[in-house]
Structure 1
Amino acid sequence: MNKNLFSLPDFTNNDSVFKELIALRRILHRMPETGFHEWKTMELLIDLIKDTQGTITFMPQETAQHLCTLIPKADKPHKFLGTDVSVTGFKLTFNLDPQNKKVKKHLAIRSDIDGLSIPESSDPRHLPAKLGFNAVNGAMHACGHDGHMAIAIMSALWVNANLSLLYESDLSAISFIFQPAEEGCRGALAVIDSGFLQDIDLIYCYHLGLGVPSGYIVPCPSDFLASCKFTLEVFGKKSHAGHPELGINALKVTASFIEKALSLLDLKKGLYVNMSNLHCEGACNVIPDHCFLEGEIRVLDEENLDLLYSQIEQIIANESKTVPGSYYQLLKKGVGLGIKQDEKLCKKVEKAALKLKLNIMPEFKFNASEDASQLIRHLQKQGKLGCYFMIGSDIANSHHNSSFDFDEKSLINGFNVIKELILSELP
């Protein structure tokens, strides 16, 4: 990292914090990496917080083994602070009760760290391109995760600068979880498997934009879609195109499956189906024997998720029977769930926003999936608490678009809300 681009702000000066938030966001925006490949991102984030009084915990090697169908195998372990690391993502924890005098109350803030496999626009009307901080590596932070990281890192640095004050709070510890692979709903499963949530009592997760205008906070969004991502491989048999009867056309099975699967889409019933990334390599005079595609299903009513997935399974089973000798491999690659908000935490977010004189949007239908749902659900099953709130930010073009950008003024609002949530734990 170029140390000249970012410096520790004066936390008593809101303008100083705002300036450095923007600088940090733009550094991160230049270096997007897709899920479970966020090695350079990790290097930067760790460089920023390695000298704090917090403890950094990495994903264990066992997580890569347990979730081998979700996590791509690293060519070799990456070394951070003398530790061999095979899975991206980490946790930074500040111990606020070194003498173990408090009743346990461990608060966590979660930020996602991955980008999308979308080449970023170089159009000069696109602000990152105009100002020279657009990405040029074929990936992009097209969903605001660069902003999420900037808010979380600045919040962690603020905690480090105010430890003496926070020792007086009701918190035994504060953790910042930097989660990989939110896109595709895979990274939360790795966080859970890693044990990062083992001693957490309450967690706040958040998102920028998504149609909420700048200056607003949504303390308690609703209508999260449950989703399931999957891959499908169809296998057939090669032959010369002049003798198709000697081969088994994998593309025929795949094309028919796609048509029938997409017919399950029903917006009135809240059923969403999408297919993408179809690969079927080979020469035009050869019957293809292998096809690969990625797909996802989303439902408004979580109870319909398994039902819709079983319909996907049945379609491909029927298509395989229609073309004897073909077979397939269908694998789940990530699952998002609905979120049942904990009212107590939502009220804390609302109170923090009002104290900061931000506008409150009392109702907002999220209408997308988020794997923070897995983290919140995991804690709630143990009687613990979780909340997902939204930080309003005007956007240029939609999320997951090559010209996506958000209003950077929203960064200071996000930081200040998190700061107030932490300060609310003081007696």
Structure 2
Amino acid sequence: MIERTWQSELAALIAAQEPKWIDFRRRLHQNPEPSGHEYHTSLAIYQELNSLGIDLRMGPEGRGVLAEWHTPHAEALPEAIAVRGDIDGLRIQDQKDIPYRSQCPGLMHACGHDAHATMALWATALIVELDRMGALPWPVRLRTIFQPAEETCVGASEMISVGALKEVREIYATHVDPMLPTGRIGLRVGALTASCDAVRILIHGLGGHGARPHESRDPIAAAAQLINALYLSIPRVTDSQDAVVLSFGRIYGGENLNVIPEQVELLGTLRTLDRDVRQRTIDHMHRVIEGVERATDTSIAIHFDVGTGAVINEAKPISHLKTAIVESFGHEAIYEIPRASMGGEDFAFYLEHVPGAMARLGCRSPSLDVAPLLHSPLFDIDEAVLAIGARTLASTVIHAFEPHEPHR
């Protein structure tokens, strides 16, 4: 008779439960909620977790859920391993022609948060069931964080403020990646994503008639000069091996085609991978602004609002992920990410308090050479990634509690 290990029990549970969790993810996909309004999503997650009989708390204002499980009748574990799944959708119209497309006009899960939440929930259920079966090899303490408002970079801080990281030793998260085929899992020690600052620039001039611009101090002309100067100069003052991306996504000023306005507002983002590079870039932007002010006789004010820092994966959590991935899927599943993404991710806020890591899970169907990218109105996942993510998270948590962990 072949001895059944916890790994084989885990694989059997996943195979038996996969249809249930695909259905759960589809229900989330059909009913997305925007950042700051994730009430029904939080309730659906709470109800599913409540059926497991574990300790639960709602997040601030009824958004988000904190779940806690520790092996009963074991010596108290002083610290937990945390798993985070984000739950908010985006204000994008779902254009997919599928039965489970979003039923909410102008809203969809275009960044995979429905998948992340499902993986975290499924991993939690797997650990609880293994524990109750007596199949876990050693005691485990798990904290699962279902976080709202990732897209607006405020949800992580909200959950931390209500104790999400209290007595947490390490934290893990996943992010689906349509650039990778299903079955490949991207890992990287060090910077995984960029810090992201919101940039707001107000240019005050003197309005006037469009026929007589010499009688005004044109803020639109100043905006054009400023954008051009920043876009041209920043690459010339930045080391070519340091990543900096400044992009303006909104320019607003004026109401009439023949009137020079008093004010123009620019909104954008500044993304960097290094704190010193970030500060040098901000200092340079101030110098450019001073020059444009003098040249255009306008008044320019710039404000930076830190959206999120860089996600920095630490080596030990990455080693736990690698152990789980190789054990479950083989060495060939691991994709070594060559360089950081310039996208932002508020998982970084957790990593300012405890070590952790985020894995990028390939979610492109093997039948496709190219798949719609994140934040696309056609974005979807190969649902086989749900089982891969749940197994990776559950295995990683279990391995993180291995007694007298050998050096790797």
Normalising by the smaller structure, the TM-score range is 0.7 to 0.9
Equivalent of 1:392 in 352, 358, 362:
362
Question: Does the CA contact (< 8 Å) of 1:184 and 1:229 recur in 2?
Answer: no
Corresponding residue for residue 197 of structure 2: 229
Q: Distance in 2 between matches of 1:276 and 1:338?
A: 23
Percent of counterpart pairs with the same letter? 23
Q: Distance in 2 between matches of 1:220 and 1:367?
A: 8
Question: Does the CA contact (< 8 Å) of 2:67 and 2:143 recur in 1?
Answer: yes
What residue ranges of structure 2 are gaps of 5+ in the alignment?
1-9, 366-370, 404-408
1:258 aligns with 2:227: yes
Q: Distance in 2 between matches of 1:152 and 1:311?
A: 42
1:405 aligns with 2:380: yes
Q: CA deviation at 1:147?
A: 0.8
Q: Structure 1: which amino acid aligns with 2:357?
A: C
Q: CA deviation at 1:322?
A: 4.0
Question: Does the CA contact (< 8 Å) of 1:229 and 1:296 recur in 2?
Answer: yes
Q: Please, which moves more after superposition, 154-163 or 397-406?
A: 154-163
Corresponding residue for residue 312 of structure 1: 285
Q: Please, which moves more after superposition, 199-208 or 271-280?
A: 271-280
Q: CA deviation at 1:366?
A: 5.0
Corresponding residue for residue 216 of structure 1: 184
Q: CA deviation at 1:325?
A: 5.3
Corresponding residue for residue 41 of structure 1: 41
Q: CA deviation at 1:149?
A: 0.9
Corresponding residue for residue 125 of structure 1: none
Corresponding residue for residue 326 of structure 1: 299
Deviations 1:88-132 (A, max 9, x none): 433222244678x334131100112223333332xxxxxx42334
Deviations 1:349-400 (A, max 9, x none): 2222222234332521353243323312321xxxxx3122222221622222
Deviations 1:218-277 (A, max 9, x none): 344554243222141415355554565665544333333222222225765422221113
Q: Structure 2: which amino acid aligns with 1:251?
A: I
Question: The residue matched to 1:91 in structure 2 has which SS?
Answer: strand
Q: Structure 1: which amino acid aligns with 2:299?
A: S
Question: Does the CA contact (< 8 Å) of 1:302 and 1:337 recur in 2?
Answer: no
Corresponding residue for residue 174 of structure 1: 142
Equivalent of 1:353 in 317, 325, 329:
325
Q: CA deviation at 1:278?
A: 2.9
Question: Does the CA contact (< 8 Å) of 2:197 and 2:269 recur in 1?
Answer: yes
Q: Structure 2: which amino acid aligns with 1:347?
A: S
TM-score where L is the length of structure 2: 0.80
Equivalent of 1:114 in 65, 88, 91:
88
Larger Rg: 2
Q: CA deviation at 1:189?
A: 3.3
Equivalent of 2:391 in 383, 391, 416:
416
Question: The residue matched to 1:405 in structure 2 has which SS?
Answer: coil
Corresponding residue for residue 68 of structure 1: none
RMSD: 3.2
Corresponding residue for residue 130 of structure 1: 98
Question: Does the CA contact (< 8 Å) of 1:226 and 1:305 recur in 2?
Answer: no
What residue ranges of structure 1 are gaps of 5+ in the alignment?
1-9, 61-83, 122-127, 380-384
Equivalent of 1:284 in 253, 257, 282:
257
Question: Does the CA contact (< 8 Å) of 1:215 and 1:392 recur in 2?
Answer: yes
Question: Does the CA contact (< 8 Å) of 1:229 and 1:294 recur in 2?
Answer: no
Equivalent of 2:151 in 160, 170, 183:
183
Question: Does the CA contact (< 8 Å) of 1:33 and 1:114 recur in 2?
Answer: yes
Change in Cα spacing, 1:28 to 1:248, as seen in structure 2 (3 Å) is: farther
1:195 aligns with 2:168: no
Question: Does the CA contact (< 8 Å) of 2:308 and 2:348 recur in 1?
Answer: no
Change in Cα spacing, 1:348 to 1:11, as seen in structure 2 (3 Å) is: closer
Q: Structure 1: which amino acid aligns with 2:312?
A: I
Q: Structure 2: which amino acid aligns with 1:114?
A: D
